[in-house]
Structure formats: C-alpha cells, structure tokens
Structure 1
C-alpha cells in the first residue's frame, strides 16, 4: 500500500514523513522551515528526481550557525532520515538540509539510491564522496525509532486560518508563496479530508499540465456541488461559512 498523502505546512508530504519531522523537531527543540516537500515530479531539476516521490524534503538552514545545521541533520538521522547538509560549494543551491525518509513506500528511484548511498556512508551526491554528517545512524528507520521510543508519535496540529484575500488571489494566479500558499493548501487539504470528501487525495495537486488557478477553481466547484451550493468556482461567503463549521478561522 502507498503512503497516505497530505498537505502539511503548505507542502505535499505523507503522514509517515510528517510524524518523523515532528519527532525530529522535538529532538531539535524548534520547528523546521520546509522549503521543498515530496511528490514534486520535475519541480526542481537540481534535485535529480529525489523529490518526485514520497519521503523527501528540504529544510532551510541559511541563517543557522554551523553547529545548528549539524544539529538539524543529527535530529533527522536519529528518527530515520538519510539526511545531509547541502552547501553552496556542492551545487547551485543555498545552505539547506536534504532528507529522505528511510523505508518510505513511495520513494522515487533517485531517493532510494540516496538511501542506499547513505547506508554505505556516502554523501548521496553524484561524486559519491564520504558522508560528511553525524555518524552512527546509518541503519536507523522510523519503525526502529518508535520501538525504542514508544511514546514518540506526535500528532500534527492543523493550521486553521484562511485568508479571503489569498483565496481571491488563488482563483486567478498560479504562484503563491508564504502564508498565502499555505492557505490555498489548507483549503485543498480540507476538501480532500474524509469528513468532507469533496475531492480525492489524488486531487490535492493539479494533474500534469493544469495550472494551479484552474485546479483551485475546480476544487471549489466540487465543494459547492458536495454541499449543494451555487456552483461558481469562487471561494465566497458560503464556502467560508462551511469551513467555519469545521473549525477554521476566516480572515480578510
């Protein structure tokens, strides 16, 4: 069976990966800023396909000290990620931590190769250099971590604020960054939630070649059909009222 996909903090991931991230954040004692998630086929060419499937994410560490960057890598490795610090000297990218969830059922071919390289104590790059991260966790998996820490399964607390301005923007624009992008992702994830059932999990991202703004309109139309509202494809007061019933806060 494939992993259960969700949209979390505005990124496409799966529930196993999210649980692992939360456990690593608990070890690190601070929240990570995820800059790239999973299921992003062809999204970032420099990632060599490792983010095409599940279990992959990148974490921003540009403003962190060398010790903090190493601590992020260590926390991720402790819970079962193959994780490395990526530096500008290694490629055309800023400082970030690249992580692959060992044992994820949805790994892309590139990600699976990186896991194999990690277990060989290599850096996961094309040059197949020696591992440059904290040693000692090359055989760790999430399941082994849970066996040793049975109370370590944290629950993701969903973000609940939706901006009407963001929803108006999402209807006519594809690119959305920061909080507005997270708002759009929350609406789509809500529509796919089993309690709502307006769309399927597969519809949390647009099909290949379909612009995001058109996909978002389609999602809203499906929500309106589900709840027998006038079908406009516009996130209006009626849709906002629905989300309030499910505990969401609607802002300007």
Structure 2
C-alpha cells in the first residue's frame, strides 16, 4: 500500500465520513455531521434511504455469492466499515471468496489496513474509480482477482459522486468491457424522477445542497442510470428502489411511501 496518502483533514467534509454519519457510524467529525444534519433537514427520509442502500448491498452480494456462484468481488468506493460489509456477507456464504476493496479516502485507507489483517482473502487498494485504466492494472487487483473467470463489480452509492465531466457512462463501459463473460455488476445511484413531481423537486434541492456543501453529487434519471448497465442483462426486478429488490420480508406502506430517490440494480454480462 502506498505511503504517500493524503492526511485526514477533520475540517473538510468527506463523502465516506458523511455516509458513515448517515449509517449511524462513529468514524466522522463535526464538519461531516453538519452536512448530514443539513441534508436531513431538507430530506428527513435520507437517513433511512442510506440504510436501505446498505441493506440492498448485503442482499445483492448474498445473491451473487450464493445463487449466482460468484466467488470474487471488486468493490469500488467501498467507504468506511460502518455496518456489515461486502466481505462479511460474502464470506458467510463462501468463506473462500476473494474481495478487493478500492477507495481514495485517507480514513477509509486506514481502515483498509485493518481489513487486511482480518483474513487473507480480503484486500484493499488505494485508488480512484474514475481511472479504470489505472485501477484495472493495479497489482493487487490483478493478483487476487482471476480475470479469466466471472467476478462481481460493486458500485454502491459511488457513481452519483462522479461528475458528468468524467463521463461516468464511459467509465462503466470500460469496466464492463474488462469483465469476463458471466460477471455481474451491482449499482445503486441517487435518482431524479424528472417528472415535475415534488420528489423531482426534492432531488434538485438535495443535489444543490450537496453541491454547495461538498461540490459533489448528481441525481440522475432512470435512463441515465440504465446507461451504466449497457452491455449487460438486468436481473429481476430490474432497476428498482432498494426496498423493492428481493426484500427479506413483505413490503410495508411505510417503506413504499419513501425512498424514491435511489435506484438499484444487478445485471449479468452475457
């Protein structure tokens, strides 16, 4: 792991630490809590949406490690280990599965070092998911993932922090092109209904607030999010709200009435 990592700056909010606050974690600072509180005031359901996204991730990787038979995972923008993590959910299904986490946040990197000690099938790379050409050639990625066999690529709440200027659809096309046949892609992304509704207005307001506070966050339409899966076949129920994607129990009115500003999907590359 590189030694020239940027220092952790407790005076500037970090996406990883803000998400940690949304998930009820402890690895964040007052500046991160301030962002969390401002978003919560604007969209009180956003904390629940964050938890639903994590619950979806765990259900998705359980499906991938179980029924889909995937035993190697590349989790991009993995974030802080606030709640249950990809490797824990996967390795309960298949203890031999290999997981490579990638993040460029210095606090996440510090936790990544600790993950390396958990077991010899969990690995961490300091890298930028916006640089697929570099990341896919990283020695850890090439050593621990067998690119001649199917694997799963995870983008959980990451791509909405990639500005349009970086061409996120083009980035995903590069990743998908590199994946072997039979591989899977799992994505969750903030959603703009773009239908003139109050939810569409809220999406614009939350995006504006995030941009003012952190200069990062793009709510995208269903069509824009669907473009990230180009070249793959979506698994049922397709692109859906997180609580609709293979829920562990029956849907309740409380869940159906909220969480409309996030879409999730899992797809297979033929």
TM-score by length of structure 1 reads 0.28
Rg: which structure is higher? 1
Between Structure 1 and Structure 2, the one with more helix by share is 2
